Amino acid sequence: MTGTIARAAAAVAVAASVTLATAGTALAAEPGAPPGPGTSPPQATPTEKAAAEVRPAIVYLTETFTAYVGDGTGLYYNNGQPLTLNATCTGFGVNPQGYVATAGHCVDTTSPDGIRADFIQMVAQDIAAKTPGVTVQDAMTYGMANWTVEGQAKGSPIDAQYSAVIGSGTGSGAKGEVVPARLVDFRPPSQGDVALLKIESSDLPTVQLGSDADTAIGTPVLSIGYPAAADAVTDTTLEPSNKDGQISTKRTMGSVPYYETSASLSPGMSGGPTVDMDGDVLGINSAHLPNDQAFNFIAPASGLTELLARNGVQNRLGPNDALYRDALANYWAGRYTDAIAGFERLLLVDPGHGQAQQFKTEAAKAKERFGDTPVAPPAEQGGTGFLGLAPWMFWTIVGGAAALLVGGIALLVVLLRRRKGRGEAAVADIPAPRDPRFDDPTNRAPQAPRMPQAPWGSTPVQPVQPPQGPAWQQPRPAAPAGLADGPTAVVTPADIMASQRPAPAGPFLSPGAAPTASQPPTAPPAPSAPPVNGSGEEAAAPTAVVSIPKAGSCPNCGSTVTPGAVFCATCGTRQS
């Protein structure tokens, strides 16, 4: 029976453990459970996320240069009329107050290899086309050594006008606001190839600059810009090209550091940013080898950081950038309702923000198709749950603790049943109490006094070694306070004689110790402390009453009383 109960308890414990642990895991997983199969929105790639984050800060730059090219003798080509050169480059916002970064060679009107070389090339191509036997390269070499390129005033720098197209287009559309820009400062290619322009704005979208420490060989990058060659064969658009690649190596041109990248660059993309997958600018698109797209170079962002510091400009994001990035993060996470609300707040203060309008529309479509992704609890978002634990861990602990509790209760029931069985067997071995009035002196055998049973659950009573010498020579122990009402045991002279017999020889061990071969027999243990009952109080100790009647006749019936008898065998009268 006991074995059956034990097996049943174990089965209940195991079942409870599995059930509760499983329930805990289910409860932990339920709040953040992703949508079912076929209903999850497609996940954006790191390249897509980086492009979307940087896109609002990309600026389309147009440049108009006017110069007079002379032969050094006072004669000017083009019949003495100025030449005009139109060019495009790419820039990006670095400060909300209207500061735009670009490549130095896009605005360099003073260095020999800057815009001056472009005017000389224009004249060399015209001469080669009109003069038989003269090549463009011949005319170019001669012109770089002998011709003058100057502005409206004799000996002045080339006249330049810069414009920035802010606001962004989507798809094949072309819209935006054209605003004038002025040159703040620049460094030519031989000094870092970076430049800083200024437009009138107080909320220009911006990006953050990285550092050389963020740039390692093999770092995935995205180069962004407006390729002029693409505009020559397609409709004009304000949507930039995104060329992905990686940092191939670090090189120098003279003493100036440059990064070689596998992201292809082309004219028009000069001045655009090359960013990592977090959207931080690692460099500025600078140069490529003609007719070889395998070698492309970007100027490290550290040069731009130095240029900003030299002009007291701080690279930072604006309030609109924070609104846009928060809404974009909700969009990527599938929280379309929050994303729509964020884009709407941005459009209230910047109605021309093309990306906000575009992603608001995309978020509305995705919400209708997929619904919002449930928000994960704080522990799954990097925080902690109840008691600092993740939900799955908390419910697993709860399930395991409940399983241990159920198993402990089952084990306790088994132990109770086993102890109860042993108790019943022990009671069955104890002879029934007998009435001294019916004792037969001739049949009574001496018996040792039986020790009282301690209540269940209290400390077991240790056997008390009988005192040495006659009982009447031993001092009577005083009854403990509060135990005067304990049971009374009548001790006869035969019991006293039996109690004086020597204890059987044998080894004695301390409670709980196991016998060992090397441990010699020891003396019996000293009397233990008084037994205690289940409530922690001392149990009532029996009070011994010694009666030694003298030989004689029974005062009641006159029968002869056996010496030492407590009661008369004939009438049962107690002898005094």
SS3 181: strand
Report yes or no on 134 lying in a domain: yes
Positions in the chain short of pLDDT 50? 1-2, 4-6, 8-10, 12-38, 170-172, 381-382, 425-428, 430, 438, 441-442, 445, 448, 450-464, 466-467, 469-486, 488-489, 491, 493, 496, 501-548
**pLDDT of the residue at 276:** 95
Q: What are the pLDDT digits (tens) for 404-443?
A: 887 778 777 777 777 665 555 444 454 555 555 545 544 5
Q: Are residues 85 and 12 in the same domain?
A: no
DSSP string, 161-176: EEEEEES---TT----
Q: Are residues 90 and 195 in the same domain?
A: yes
**pLDDT of the residue at 463:** 47
**Residue listed under structure tokens 């999850």:** 40
Q: Are residues 80 and 215 in the same domain?
A: yes
The number of domains in the chain is 4
Q: Are residues 422 and 558 in the same domain?
A: no
Q: Are residues 281 and 133 in the same domain?
A: yes
Report yes or no on 478 lying in a domain: no
Burial of 566 (0-12, 13-18, 19+ CB in 10 A): middle
Bridge partner list, 538:
532
pTM: 0.60
Exposure string (b/e) for 366-400, b if CB count within 10 Å is 16 or more? bbeeeebbeebbebbeeeebeeebbbbbbbbebbe
Amino acid identity for residue 194 in this structure = V
Distance in angstroms (rounded) separating the CA atoms of residues 336 and 328: 10
Q: What are the pLDDT digits (tens) for 279-320?
A: 999 999 998 776 666 689 999 999 999 999 999 999 999 999
SS3 246: strand
Q: Are residues 256 and 334 in the same domain?
A: no
Report yes or no on 41 lying in a domain: no
Tokens of 338: 């929050």
Report yes or no on 244 lying in a domain: yes
Q: Are residues 307 and 341 in the same domain?
A: no
Q: Are residues 336 and 391 in the same domain?
A: no
Q: Are residues 189 and 297 in the same domain?
A: yes
Q: Are residues 135 and 261 in the same domain?
A: yes
According to DSSP, residue 203 is labeled S
Report yes or no on 128 lying in a domain: yes
Report yes or no on 486 lying in a domain: no
CA neighbor of 47 nearest in space, from 322, 281, 275 = 275
Report yes or no on 233 lying in a domain: yes
Q: Are residues 342 and 421 in the same domain?
A: no
CATH assignment of the domain containing 299: 2.40.10.120
Neighbouring C-beta atoms of residue 456, cutoff 10 Å: 11
Report yes or no on 39 lying in a domain: no
Q: Contact, 174 vs 167, CB < 8 A?
A: no
Q: Are residues 389 and 332 in the same domain?
A: no
Per the structure, the complete domain to which residue 402 belongs is given by: 2-30+385-429
